[in-house]
Structure 1
């Protein structure tokens, strides 16, 4: 049983294990966040779907600002 408690306590400090928890932000969201911070296009390791989703959101937000 000690292994189980060790695993659960290690998830708090281990980002790889934490990322498997549903409450963590999705990989795509973290990706978009980083891209925004760097004011660049989507980072290379983002998937094509996430890039398209980001472009869509960008279009929506820029369209909303025009009103």
Structure 2
């Protein structure tokens, strides 16, 4: 019985891991882009962290739903 459940959930598990990998890859790229932008501008690090955190939370909410 557990084996059948594991087989049924295997594609879902792969999908979740792929999405997690893409999220990490996207967030790393976004962090690098935003970091480069911040260094060119005169924003403080605190504002940068708030902007990045807000965008990541919105993205994570859309991925979870």
TM-score (norm 2): 0.32
Higher helix share: 2
**Relative contact order (alpha carbons < 8 A, sep ≥ 6): 1 or 2 greater?**
2
